[in-house]
Amino acid sequence: MPTVFITGGGGIIGPGMIREFSAAGYDVAASFNRSRERTEDALCAAREAHGVKTLSVQGDNGKVEDILRMFREVKETFGAIDCMVNNAGMTFSTDLLTATEEDFNRGVHVDFRGTFFCMQQAAKNMIEYGKKGVIINITSNHQTVTFHKAMLYAASKAAIDRMTKSASVELAPYGIRVVDIVPGYTQVPGFNEEHAGEEWYQTIVSKIPLGRYAVGDEIARAAVFLAGEGAGIITGASLYMDGGAQNVTGVPG
């Protein structure tokens, strides 16, 4: 079976990634920092439903030593990685005049630096085992759309997009593809229906052309497609999954 390593297994998108990749026949490793229960519940369900092999690893993507250890643990269990999904990240608000060094580091350490070193380690694993693998980076439409009080968050996501494109060129000689998925507002299944009647929710969705948030499982299914042979010519590309929000102005940040 092919193997996928998903960071941020307990976040909004992570459990859907575990479900969809296991349903597609992948053995699944998933990392968590604080969301152990949510990650391990999703992995347990994947084992029971699809008979795949799973592994949970704990680590802080803001710490390079944790990233190196997590990749060692995945290698010890599975050997080669066929697909790596950089899903771990942080959402936060800051503005230019009041942002602190701590605010700055929050985005740099997890979103920017963490994604870089995960890409590096995934690529080294794939090259070592001769795998023409796929690295998928989860970013945000903040990388191109200007939202209020999102300067540092947007900058970190824009950095991921540029790293994706540069890495796709560097790794092409090895047959390794690198792509990013660009969500907008995303929530767990049922969130859209639960909050449909609330004013703040209506204010947001009224500005999104498709009129709703995305759900994690939709993004996960796109990731499975991008990892597969049907997407074999796709690299260095950005797949926007924000209901068209990047094409309009006035979507609340």
For residue 101, give the CATH number of its domain. Answer: 3.40.50.720
Mean pLDDT of 40-58: 96
Count structural domains, the chain: 1
Mean pLDDT of 1-14: 94
- The verdict on whether 153 is a catalytic residue reads yes
Q: Can you state the angle between helices 36-50 and 14-23, rounded to 10 degrees?
A: 10
Catalytic residue among 153, 185, 201, 240: 153
Mean pLDDT of 157-186: 95
Quote the domain boundaries for residue 42. 3-188+215-247
- Domain membership of residue 210 (yes or no) is no
Please check whether residue 3 is in contact with residue 29, taking contact to mean a CB–CB distance below 8 angstroms: yes
Please give the residue that has the higher pLDDT: either 182 or 109: 182
Per-residue model confidence (pLDDT) at position 26: 98
- Domain membership of residue 81 (yes or no) is yes
Q: Indicate the pTM of the whole model.
A: 0.93
- Domain membership of residue 203 (yes or no) is no
pLDDT digits (tens, 9 = 90+) for 189-215: 777 778 878 888 888 888 899 988 888
- Domain membership of residue 200 (yes or no) is no
| Encoded tokens for 48 | 């029971």
pLDDT digits (tens, 9 = 90+) for 89-122: 777 777 888 888 988 887 778 888 999 999 999 9
Per-residue model confidence (pLDDT) at position 250: 61
What's the mean pLDDT when you consider all of the chain? 91
- Domain membership of residue 207 (yes or no) is no
Q: Counting every residue, how long is the chain?
A: 253
